Structure 1
Amino acid sequence: MPNPLLQEWGGPAGSPDFAAIRADQFLPAIDEGIRLSRAELAAITGNPAAPTFANTVEALERSGAVLARVRRIFWTLSSAQADDAIHAIEADVSARLTAWGLEVSHDVALFERVATVWKTRETLTPEQARLVDNSYKGFVAGGAALDAAAKHRLAEISTRLSELGVIFGQNVLAATNETEILVADDESDGIPEDQCALGRAAAAARGLAGQHLFRADRGTYESLLTFADSRAVRERVWRAFTGRCQSGPYDNLPVIAEIVALRDEKARLLGYASYAQYALEDSMAKTPEAAAGLMDRVWRPGLVQARREAEALQQIVTRDGNDFELAAWDWRYFADRVRRERFAYDAAAVRSHLSLGKVRSAAFAAAERLYGLRFTRREDVAVYHPDVCAWSVDNADGTPLGLLFTDYLARPEKHGGAWMGSLRVQEKMDAAVRPIVYTVANFTRAEPEDDALLTLDEARTLFHEFGHALHALLSDVTYPSLAGTAVARDFVEFPSKLMEHWVASPEALRGFGIPDDLVEAIGRAETFGQGFATIEFLASAIVDLKLHQTQPPPTDIAAFERDTLAALGTPDAIGMRHRLAYFTHVFDGGYASAYYSYLWAEVLDADVFEAFTATGNLFDPELADRLRREVLAQGDARDPMTSFTAFRGRAPDEAALLRARSLA
């Protein structure tokens, strides 16, 4: 029987038939994909004609289509539907793909042909020149210019790093699934009833009478820390969540130490002073110093504001007759008290209006008003889990644009957090190819799905990942390597951060049925808590950057984290949003040295959103059309700063970020 992974996808809208795919088909499909790719590259290097853009770089761009299909569908399942069979082959898949990538990067004949074309890039169109430049730099970053001994060592490092990334991610998933939080009936005051019901059901299934059983995912963690009246419960939740992967069978601290040492060695082999310098060379920031400078300029006012907020929270603690000092498990709870008392903001009341179905519909409606897009549910498209919904995406004139999968509810097979990915990217090299993208989150389950209730922050997360999806769907480039979100790490978060504004605007909030007085309260309360949010994020971003700059690389990761936070003056009651032991962005997600990129993207999005607010119309058609043409459609066909200035007419205004965070 033919392996379905090797066949062209023939489902509706060109979708894959997930029902026909089994885990044991992946390794043979990857091997065959590599064999086909190797033959395609041999045809390029064996071409007797002089290297040209068409016979070398464009031919390289056409190669590997089968392997790309298999790779993308595997990583979709391994991140969002990682059952035991997928787990069992994840390391093998990673090793084979890493080995193939090294074989390509170290192909001397192929690199020489690309380098020859690269020297003539000024004679090409801008998009062609961009592709050639990216290709050449990719070969250099992969070690193509190294001698044989250095290439061999680089191959050893890359192979081990791929193994360690798999180990790290699997440890986080296993620890999250096995970390259970028990809350007795008499401790459950304040916890939203829908979450209590789920907790009671989970406990009952385990024969735990009079208890609520919760999983240590981020949504549950933040909700319990915000709403649980019992301080003992909040402390238990905080310690369970933040203590993951720091000891026992899923200890990631030695894994991190090895990763950091190998990354540093890799960077030095390639001629860089640190891994951070290597990782940021093609970013908008360009250097670790520039990224650190931005963070420092935001950290200082953020810390001042956070200390003011801490004083306000401690006043309530003391006023209530308590004699304890504000701790990390208290902050969200008492911040919610401040918002309710000072600003008449009731987070639980807001949450009661934000059903998943309404928020998703609001995201679709915003895309329709901004870009004329239409979303239609597709019951005929196969999905990889019953939670997943498929949607056709069309332009205003009815022409198909692509396919979107949404996968929002938490389940044990799914990695934590939220993300967007592509099963197929847009291109028009030989014919128009429409993208297939997906967005994934981990919201608390409900039946039916549309009734799941979200906090305002979770609603922002949905809009954030939807912003990434729009970036991929609205791509309009020639070459697949330049499509959609294939841009600099500190630019890719710009369209997604920008999209968050459209869920928190008064117009959007009223659309959820939130009363005017509560909408006004949200607007007032938005300024409170910006110090906390700034420090919690930047603590993680600064530790990430310093970790990849420190010489020699630290071996005691727990001490490095502790000492770096102390040197920064990070309040104990805030800490890091992502502690290193479960920081999947950095050790299993491509953000090493670049977690700061969310902050730089926020500079861009704050500046652009000010352009929309200045018009008095958050759906201004002229601005939306220009944003689509000059930013979203461009992908990586040109330098991201060129795209930004083409939209805004000038370079980004860093002060816009401070204004947006009320830190000016």
Structure 2
Amino acid sequence: MKKAVLSPIAMAVMLAACQPDSTSNTNTDQQKITQQETAQQTNDIVNTNPLLTQSSAPFGVPEFSKIKIEHYEPAFEFAIAKNKQQIDDIANSTETPTFENTIESMEKSGQALNHVTTVFYALNGTDTSKEMQSIAKKMSPRLSALNDDIYLNAKLFSRVKAVYEQKDQLDLRADQQTLLDDSYQSFVRGGANLNDADKATLRDLNGQLSKLSVQFGENLLAETNAFELVIDNKEDLAGLPDDIIAAAAVTATERGHDGTWVFTTHRPSKNPFLTYAENRELRKALYEGYIQRGDNDNANANDNKKLASKIASLRYQKAQLLGYKTYANFVLEKAMAKTPENVYGLLDQVWPAALAQAKKEAADMQDMIDAEGGDFTLAAYDWWYYAEKIRKARYDLDAEQTKPYFSLDATREGVFYTAEKLWGVTFKERDDIPKYHPDVRTFEVFDKGGESIGVYMTDYYVRESKRGGAWMNSYRKQQKMFGENVKPIIYNVLNYPRPVGDAPVLLTFDQASTLFHEFGHAIQGLLSDGYYQSQTGTSLPRDYVEYPSQVMENWMMEPEVLAQFAKHYQTGEVIPKTLIDKIQAAGKFNQGFATTEYMAAALLDMKWHTLETATEQDADAFEKAAMDEIGLIPEITPRYRTGYFSHIFAGGYASGYYGYIWSNIYDADTWQVFSQNGIFDQETANGYREHVLETGGTEDPMIMYRRFRGQDPKVWPLLERRGLLSEEQLKAMKEQ
């Protein structure tokens, strides 16, 4: 007779259920044997699965080389079952509910699952495969269901509520008070107060949303990788820099088009082509390939329009079920902005000035086209090309002039220099720490006293197995809740072109600025000094979390910092002051476009999530109506159209994409202090570290910001920085 093999989750559940019961002694010998076999099978899984065993690598970094595709599902199954049992133990406890045995116990539960999900989703974003995508589809609804199992557990909620109702009598630290408040609100927002029928509906909505979000991201990756512009006539490369041409030749070989040049919709390929290629029709082809991603009515099911509409409909239904007017109202309750009206209040202050400036910029470009004898009207796919020509003519600044001074390695060293000057933090490369991909470089991080404080990984090159964009995340967050200070493992991911031959990767000024930006997130994760895992690092509202990263960009523009790292990759010459002056003079150039294309996307996000109907929309018609309503000019496309707006449909930025400009208010206001006191003033740097970088989400961010700044942030520094105010307007705002 063939022996039955239990699934890992069934084994774990049975093992938990078969613990000795003091009220019953009726187990038969056969039941005891079954328990022993089940326990042994479970132990075998735990002891042989690298996702469930303690890493022996330095700093406990995951041993990536040992992790195989077949390890993920058993690890998920076991960790989910273990987390369920931990939650049930808390919910069914006969002890009087306390902060320690309820709130803190919940915070400490699920460590195995946290590790498995962290590793899996990190690798699914940076080095995915069809097999991993299949697992993501399978596990996403399972994790959503587990989340519902927790927040819809009536017994557990009654214990949380009992502690919450006595919070004023408890002697809690500020971070404990925050944890208690957040825990209670999470249950309420998770549906704990709903009746049974509505709880079932909520479970269904959450399950559908989790599946659709995964599918949206998978479709977008497929669309991005599928498009290619193959050029077989060298004359069609006119205007393009040599390094971009060389990179396109490498891409062509990799894609099986030897002897040609291939350009893709990945930004390191797309952006320089749109900026320098003289062939207007080819610019149009590549641009439309980019903006039509997810909007091609594909027979291969990669179209995202219906997915986006369905997601928006389900989110509205969820918000209604939980008692909110719209999904944006639901999300923003936990943000700095609090309400959609406050978001629109900020956007409405910036949008008119940004649009007016963009129209002036468009008129300047049309004048250049006419002066050159061009018999055509400026189109969206012309903008980068003519903006670069005007920049060169007006400021004598060609982006290609700056690239030799911004090699990738040197720019990273510039970031390290800045961190050391500000906070005494240093970085030492380590080759003995596991890497999840050969592109990764790994550094041990030391504080100013020489104490090792964490691990920092960089993953900079574009590849088809990596999703687009740039981000920071962690394989392990800093925390102290188990009695020791656990050091963080932080990583930055970007998508720069690969080096060609022996030549270094040279960055545009914007690409170098992005490296500083993402490091701003990383340094917050590395300098984190909190107790509870859910509060450390970048555990902050969406409209505040971008603040430290945006502040970091400011140092790159400073001559003192540029002099340290911006050196010609061939001659070693420091970037000339004349070139720095040109960069700074051009700092407000094209800001109408940059602000407008970003804000158009932010407003599109808000439109989708302030819908007051569950009726699924025609995505193209909806988007056009939204852009027509705000008066977006045809020469500009939103930075993200619906079909490839992964931030809001496959990420965590739904009703939150405006957060970049909201965070910009804190950034600009903070830079006022550094500008006045000195960019490396130690008192200012230490205050910023203590009240912003180290604290994470331990308290209301506005309280912590006021401790650092001594006041609420002002809006005028942001508008002044972007060149969106006249002298009279600026003066009036300063006097308010």
TM-score past 0.5 threshold: yes
Alignment of 1:319 onto 2:371: yes
Select which of 525, 533, 536 maps to 2:586: 525
Query: 2:261, 2:355 → 1: CA distance?
Result: 37
Tell me what 1:586 maps to.
648
| Per-residue deviation, 1:486 | 0.8
8 Å Cα contact 2:268/2:495 also seen in 1:
yes
Select which of 167, 184, 191 maps to 2:215: 167
Select which of 100, 109, 116 maps to 2:162: 116
Tell me what 1:396 maps to.
448
Query: 1:209, 1:130 → 2: CA distance?
Result: 59
| Per-residue deviation, 1:206 | 5.2
Tell me what 1:645 maps to.
706
Alignment of 1:659 onto 2:707: no
Tell me the percent identity.
39
Tell me the secondary structure at the aligned position of residue 263 of structure 2. Answer: strand
Deviations for 1:345-391, whole angstroms, at most 9, x for unmatched residues?
11111122211111111111111111111111110011111001111
Query: 1:23, 1:290 → 2: CA distance?
Result: 46
Tell me what 1:18 maps to.
64
Tell me what 1:471 maps to.
524
Unaligned runs of at least 5 residues, structure 2: 1-46, 568-574, 726-736
| Per-residue deviation, 1:210 | 5.1
Q: Which moved more, 1:226-235 or 1:596-605?
A: 226-235
1:26–1:318 distance in 2 versus 1, CA, 3 Å: same
Query: 1:273, 1:143 → 2: CA distance?
Result: 16
Alignment of 1:560 onto 2:622: yes
Deviations for 1:226-265, whole angstroms, at most 9, x for unmatched residues?
1112212211111111111112021000101110000000
Alignment of 1:256 onto 2:282: no
Tell me what 1:82 maps to.
128
8 Å Cα contact 2:440/2:460 also seen in 1:
yes
8 Å Cα contact 1:358/1:450 also seen in 2:
no
Match runs of 1:536-615 below 5 Å: 536-553=597-614, 554-615=616-677
Query: 2:255, 2:534 → 1: CA distance?
Result: 49
Query: 1:54, 1:206 → 2: CA distance?
Result: 57
Detail structure 1 runs of 4+ shifted over 6 Å in the superposition. Answer: none
Query: 1:499, 1:450 → 2: CA distance?
Result: 28
Query: 2:488, 2:254 → 1: CA distance?
Result: 42
8 Å Cα contact 2:402/2:509 also seen in 1:
yes
Amino acid at match of 1:182: V
Amino acid at match of 2:521: H
Tell me what 2:695 maps to.
634
Deviations for 1:180-229, whole angstroms, at most 9, x for unmatched residues?
11233111112121121121233245564652112211232211111112
Tell me what 1:220 maps to.
269
Query: 2:488, 2:272 → 1: CA distance?
Result: 35
- How many residues in Structure 1 have an aligned counterpart in Structure 2? 663
Tell me what 2:427 maps to.
375
8 Å Cα contact 1:475/1:633 also seen in 2:
yes
Alignment of 1:420 onto 2:466: no
Tell me what 2:37 maps to.
none
Tell me the secondary structure at the aligned position of residue 240 of structure 2. Answer: coil
Query: 2:55, 2:210 → 1: CA distance?
Result: 28
Tell me what 1:496 maps to.
549
Tell me the secondary structure at the aligned position of residue 329 of structure 1. Answer: helix
Q: Which moved more, 1:492-501 or 1:348-357?
A: 348-357
Tell me what 1:233 maps to.
282
Match runs of 1:90-129 below 5 Å: 90-122=136-168, 123=170, 124-129=172-177
Query: 1:447, 1:373 → 2: CA distance?
Result: 32
Query: 1:397, 1:206 → 2: CA distance?
Result: 50
Greater Rg by CA:
2
| Per-residue deviation, 1:19 | 0.3
Query: 1:206, 1:628 → 2: CA distance?
Result: 46
Select which of 333, 336, 355 maps to 2:407: 355
1:469–1:41 distance in 2 versus 1, CA, 3 Å: same
Tell me the secondary structure at the aligned position of residue 403 of structure 1. Answer: strand
1:371–1:449 distance in 2 versus 1, CA, 3 Å: farther
Amino acid at match of 2:252: A
Deviations for 1:443-497, whole angstroms, at most 9, x for unmatched residues?
1111579811211111111111111111111111111111111111111110011
Query: 2:659, 2:76 → 1: CA distance?
Result: 32
Query: 1:578, 1:415 → 2: CA distance?
Result: 15
Tell me what 2:17 maps to.
none
Select which of 315, 338, 341 maps to 2:390: 338
| Per-residue deviation, 1:134 | 0.6
Tell me what 1:156 maps to.
204
Q: Which moved more, 1:307-316 or 1:484-493?
A: 307-316
Query: 2:528, 2:707 → 1: CA distance?
Result: 16
| Per-residue deviation, 1:310 | 1.2
| Per-residue deviation, 1:88 | 2.1
8 Å Cα contact 1:244/1:581 also seen in 2:
yes
User: What TM-score, normalized by structure 1, do the two folds share?
Assistant: 0.98
Query: 2:408, 2:626 → 1: CA distance?
Result: 39
Deviations for 1:542-592, whole angstroms, at most 9, x for unmatched residues?
010011112225510111111111111111111201111001100111100
For the aligned residue pairs, the C-alpha RMSD in angstroms reads 1.4
Tell me what 2:179 maps to.
131
User: What TM-score, normalized by structure 2, do the two folds share?
Assistant: 0.88
Query: 1:558, 1:181 → 2: CA distance?
Result: 25
Deviations for 1:601-636, whole angstroms, at most 9, x for unmatched residues?
000000001110112x21111111000001111111
Deviations for 1:492-512, whole angstroms, at most 9, x for unmatched residues?
110011111112223333330
Tell me what 1:406 maps to.
458
Tell me the secondary structure at the aligned position of residue 570 of structure 1. Answer: coil
| Per-residue deviation, 1:526 | 1.1
Match runs of 1:256-335 below 5 Å: 256-335=308-387
